[in-house]
Amino acid sequence: MEASTNVRQLLQGKGTEVWSVAPGESVFHALERMAEKNVGALVVLEGDALVGMFSERDYARKVILHGRASRDTAVRDIMSERVVTVGPERTVADCIASMTEHRIRHLPVVEDGRLIGLVSIGDVVKAIMQDQSFLIDQLQSYIQGAP
């Protein structure tokens, strides 16, 4: 990846598969899915509509700390309803700024009102590291006089 990588380029490299859960499913089912897919969050979809995010943080703060049972609690009861999204033309720097500002680790990617992917803090950090490596290589070539 080159400097100023945008979200579309990031998705081309990592893929657009998004793991989701329906709002009426149990928190236990959502946790099983997260463990199965080895992810820290799921988008909550009602049909094709993005209605929330469910994360490990939601579980810890809204189920465990409140003494609720994960088998008896619906995802809709504890999901984060205010979902911060990003468009595919935004830069990786925009993503990290948004994640930092909103204290979140996952950004659903939406284009023309449709969910097209998801980027995590890990994806963003990896892209930043690749961008920096590219810039370092370019600077070294320039300094050494290589074409």
Q: Is residue 40 part of a domain?
A: yes
DSSP letter, residue 65: G
* Mean pLDDT calculated for residue range 38-57: 95
Q: How many domains does the chain have?
A: 1
pLDDT tens-digit map of 79-128: 999 999 999 999 999 999 999 999 999 999 999 999 999 999 999 988 88
Q: What is the CATH number of the domain that holds 101?
A: 3.10.580.10
Residue 38: CB partners within 8 Å, gap ≥ 6? none
| CA-based nearest residue to 10, from 106, 138, 118, 137 | 118
Q: Is residue 65 part of a domain?
A: yes
pTM of the model: 0.82
Q: Is residue 55 part of a domain?
A: yes
Q: Is residue 2 part of a domain?
A: no
Q: Residue 45 and residue 1: Cα distance in Å, rounded?
A: 31
Q: Phi-psi region for residue 85, left (φ > 0), alpha (ψ -120 to 50) or beta?
A: beta
DSSP letter, residue 81: -
Q: Is residue 108 part of a domain?
A: yes
**137 pLDDT higher than 80:** no
Q: Which residues of 101-125 are buried (b: 16+ CB within 10 A; e: fewer)?
A: eeebbbbbbbeeeebbbbbbbebbe
Q: How many residues does the chain have?
A: 147
Q: Residue 28: which domain range?
A: 7-144
The pLDDT of residue 134 is 67
pLDDT tens-digit map of 5-41: 899 999 999 999 999 999 999 999 999 999 999 999 9
